[in-house]
Amino acid sequence: MNDRTPEQPADTVARLRATFRSGRTQPLAWRTTQLRRLRDMLTTHGADLAEALHADLGKSSTEAFRTEIDFTIREIDHTLEHLADWLRPEPAPVPAHLGADATAHTQYDPLGVVLVIAPWNYPVQLLLTPLLGALASGNVVVVKPSEMAPATSSALARLLPRHLDTDAVAVVEGAVPETTALLAERFDHIFYTGNGTVGRIVMRAAAEHLTPVTLELGGKSPAFVDRGADLSVVADRLVRGKFLNAGQTCVAPDYVLTDPETARALEPEFARAVEALFGADPQSSREFGRIVNERHFDRLAALLDSGRTVTGGGTDRATKYIAPTVLADVDPKSPVMREEIFGPILPVITVADLGEAIEFINDRDKPLALYAFTESDRTRERLAAETSSGGLGFGLPLAHLTVSDLPFGGVGESGMGNYHGRYSIETFSHRKAVLSKPLG
C-alpha cells in the first residue's frame, strides 16, 4: 500500500484519529494543500488511471477522462474557488429577550475520522470526490477502493500516499473481510456508494457506534417520453445516457415509459442512434465498454429474453461483451423490471398517458433519478410535484450529476444524504451553534 508496515484497521483508525486531534487538519491552508496535491495526482497520472480503468471496465481513454478524471478535477477546482466562503461563520439573529449585546453564529466543525467505501463502476470519481469533500471539511479519511476494479484499486493505493498527507489519508485494499474489519471500527462518518443490500450492512455496523452515514445507492431510474417530443433527439440522448460505461451507471435511465404510438415510433430512432454512436458493430467500437465480471455478465444475459429485441442482443462471454440493447413489448412483471439493470439493456414500457406513468413510478421504490422528455410545462410541473426522486432531469439524462452547485443523492431505497460542492462540506461537517453574551 505504501512504505509503512501493513496495519490492522484499529491501528490505522487510531493513527489517523491522533492526527485529527492534533489539530493539523483544521487550517484552511492544510485543506487547500491536500486538494491541490490531489489535483496534481490526477493531472500527472491521469494516463495511468485511464489505463487502469480500461483494464477493469474496458473504458476508452476519452470516457475515462470525461467521466472520472476531468470530472474530479472540475470538482476540486470548484471547491478551491469557494471553500473559504463556504467555511465562513454565518451570523444568526438573536431574539430581543437575550439583549442587544448578545450575538450568535454557526460554524462548520470537521467530524473527525471518515470512512469512504467506493464502488467499481466509476472507481476513480466515486472514491476521490467524497475524499476531496472530506478533506476540504478538515477530516482525516480512510478510503476503501473496490476490489472488483483491481487495477484501479492498485493504482490509487500506489498514487494517493505519494501525494497526500499519509498521517491523514489511508488506503485499505481488499474485499469483504477487509471491509468487515473496517466497519467494526468507530468512525465519525461513513460514506458508502453501492447497492442497497450492502448499504443495509453498512447501516447496521454504523448503528453500533451511532455513526452517521451517507448512502449513495441506485434503483430503477425511469425516463418518461411525452407525446410530441422530438424522438430523434430523445433517442440520441437516451442512448448516450444509457450506454455510457456499458450501462453500469447508477443514474443511467433504467427503463422508458411512453404511450404505445410513441414507443413504436421510437424503435427505429433507437436503432439509428446506437449505430450513430457505436457504429454498425459496437463490439469493435473503442467507445463501448465491457461488463465488469462474468457474474454480472451472466445476470445481464439472462435478462435479454424479457422482451422483443429492437436493436442489439448480441453477447460474448469471453470478452464480457453485451451489445447495447433496446427491448420492446416488455411486461412490467418480467425479469428485467424486477431490479436495477445496471447494464446495457433498455426496456420500453407502454402506458396510456402521463397519469398512468406517474402511478407506475410511484408504485415502485423512489429512484435515484427521474428523466422526462417533454415540451409541456404542465407535464414538468406534474412530474416535479407528484413524484419523488433523488434528482429530476428534463431533456438530458445524467447531466444534473455534473453541476457542482446541485446536491447529488438519493431518497428512500436510492439512498440518504448528498454531496458535491458545498453539500459535501455540509455532509462531512457539523454545523455548530455558537451564542455569546458578555458577562458585564
Looking at 26-124, list the stretches that DSSP marks H as alpha helix, in order from N- to C-terminal side: 28-57, 61-64, 70-87
Whether 254 and 367 have beta carbons less than 8 Å apart is answered as yes
Amino acid in position 311 = T
Q: Map grid coordinates 453574551 to a residue.
A: 437
Cell reading at 297: 455478465
Say which DSSP state 400 is in: G
Q: CB count, 10 Å around CB of 295? A: 10
SS3 288: coil
CB-count burial class (<10 Å; 0-12, 13-18, 19+) for 238: buried
**Under 8 Å between Cβ of 252 and 240:** no
- What does the alpha-carbon distance between residue 231 and residue 271 come to, in Å, rounded to a whole number? 12
DSSP state of 419: B
The set of catalytic residues is: 216, 250
**Dihedral sign for Cα atoms in the order 63, 232, 309, 302:** positive
In the chain, the amino acid numbered 10 is A
3-state secondary structure of 58: coil
What is the rounded CA–CA span in Å between residue 299 and residue 320?
12
